[in-house]
Structure 1
Amino acid sequence: MEDHRRPSSPTKQYTPSQRNDSDGPYRLLFCSSKGDKAGVMEELMKGVNTNLADYDKRTALHLASCEGCTEIVVLLLERGADVNSMDRWGRTPLSDARSFGHQEICKILEAHGGIDPMGLDFQSPCCLIDSNEVDMTEGTLIGEGAYGEVYLVKWRGTEVAAKTIRSSIASNKIVKDNFLKELALWQKLRHPNIVQFLGVLNHPDRLIFLTEYLRNGSLYDILQKKGRLDPLTAVAYALDIARGMNYLHEHKPHAIIHRDLTPRNVLQSEAGRLKVTDFGLSKIAQGKDVGYKMTGGTGSYRYMAPEVYRRESYGKSVDVFSFALIVHEMFQGGPSNRGEDPEKLADKRAYEDLRPHLPSIVYPEPVKKLLRDCWHKNPDRRPTFAEIIGQLEIIQENLQRKAITACCKCAIL
């Protein structure tokens, strides 16, 4: 995976040294997360909206509830904060307060009509596996990503992947708790194009979770070895990814946004089917060890949607944008502008509307149209994965028909 650092140029008019997450209107969020009552009062006196939200739709009340800042919670409620505002994942301030055991804040929020739509489902424990069942000392290192190393290990006689989370992440209790909650959700997911989560090792020192092992490696590996894929294979792979992503986006009661969809996060089974993995991890791994941060560093720069890079509010269509770039690579054999710095590339896509070239000799017209729609600069104009599947199935059918016709002509000759 590529670097997940914060972009250096979220706006054109400011240099990195001029920007600070504790400055400007977002200072209300920063002060609320730090329990700085004087700072919060100062921002409210300036007329900053009490319900100001970041790109994940998290408000000052969310942050104060999460961090256990009781005085700030009371102050914000007195000033008209929406007690049931929902963030990107459907969590209310009460959901956050409950998650981190802030009972006093829970009572205050409930007294003001606060609800927790996540309910017991959000609190469901993750499947724990006794650490004695897996001998990590005999594991084989097979990869390293943004969150830690990946090992091939044996569990109950079966080869599985053991993903270790970096100590800098796992040592943070809040981040670790969020990981476990996210993984509790994973264990309920079942789909042919989603990597199967198996459970978390009950290890005292490290956070390790097990998934099915796909020995054929990632789509990144495939493209490195094979280069450009034939159109039928590329479309079949695109359908696998789209079906897995549609399952995540259609998840009830709340959609699952991947936020880091890249060729490295798409794996191939022995049967040749592609499966999506590591969905939802990037939003947790950002952590809170240095206070509240506004950051566009969600996902890998090369595949990042412009609105994420610009620190704007975003939704499911960010995954559609990333998907389009992956499909483009499958037809081309690798990323466009591969020699260019990924962060600078993301900046050009965000502020200059740069998109990869689509030569007709490589891309069939229906594929070109689909890609242009998927990486449209207006997120609302991008198709859903359900719509993408429908279009890809038609493209696949037409390609198969042409291939059969070509074979028949060759047989006659």
Structure 2
Amino acid sequence: MTDPLSNRAALRRRVVDFLAHHDPRTTDRLDFLRARYDAGLAWVWFPEGHGGLGLPRSLQPEVDGPFDEAGSPDNNRHANGIGLGMAAPTILRFGTEEQKQRFLRPLWTGEELWCQLFSEPGAGSDLAAVATRAVREGDEWVVNGQKVWTSGAHIARFAILIARTHPDLPKHQGLTYFLCDMTDPGVDVRPLRQITGEAEFNEVFLTDVRIPDSRRLGAEGQGWQIANATLNNERVAIGGGLSPREDGMVGVVARTWREHPDRRTPELHDRLLSLWLEAEVARLAALRLGQKLEQGQPGPEGAAMKLTFARLAQQLSGLELELLGEAGLRYDDWTLRRPETVSLVGREAGYRYLRAKGNSIEGGTSEILRNIVAERVLGLPAEHRVDKDLPWKELAR
């Protein structure tokens, strides 16, 4: 299937045929999802044999639409965003065939949820400074260290993990990437309560955790390269998703505006229009980024999308509170909870306002992402790069 139109038509026929033989109303949920994966109708841009058909990513809606209309079961995508958006494309790109066969299918079906063991108390924005150690002992690696801000660690079966394996090398060169079983002895997950009252984040202590070398992803010392690929995927997943017009937070605030005419002022109207336009520009930019992804791996442009998403979420949630007045200050429950999913649009305004504060931290702080955009997208000189042959006044020109 090479012609785009024939791709589309053939894909539709494949979906229709699959649904004719697998009625979602009568087929067991997991049986349905496994069969869909095996038919290449999970993520169509993945290779055949790994849940896909090797087709352009833009054809995915041709699959998802009919499946949704037929009432097909969900693969727990809201609880497994890290697995689907980060672990899966990384395993596909850097994993062995054995690793792909072992992990991708149960990851997509939602049988095994994933989390991310990257950040540490002393290595958040400076990820290359991680101190967690992995020491080789025969065919195993013994891991000791602490990770923090780990979303979903309390429900995850596996984790993508970066550890230092070569402490004698420069920090970017001494890292190795692993796939860690969260049920192994020595993995201790503890909740971190947030400003919302919930604990979707965790800290994870690793004490003599033994990871088989067969679960090392990529070569020894290749961790930094693989981690960067993972982070590019993460930022695209957070801020680069395709969506209809007036979706997400801007849709919530627009509905609030329409439902509360008594709260309208010219100043609030101007702010809403400005944010609405920015959200639409961001949506169209995400569409363009999706087209670029069809041509290869995600690049640093994803950082710009994630940066924009965080800023808009915070500004829109603040505007919503102003539109609601006193009603916006109400909050339903401060009881400590450990949720499986997070949704800005599925809760009350007070939650949205508080939770959005974390958007500029998670997935890379906005300060770091601005540097990435400046240096890797716009090509501006790095802040620390100084040409010693020129005086400061010349450099400033």
Q: Specify if TM > 0.5.
A: no
TM-score by length of 1: 0.26
TM-score (norm 2): 0.27
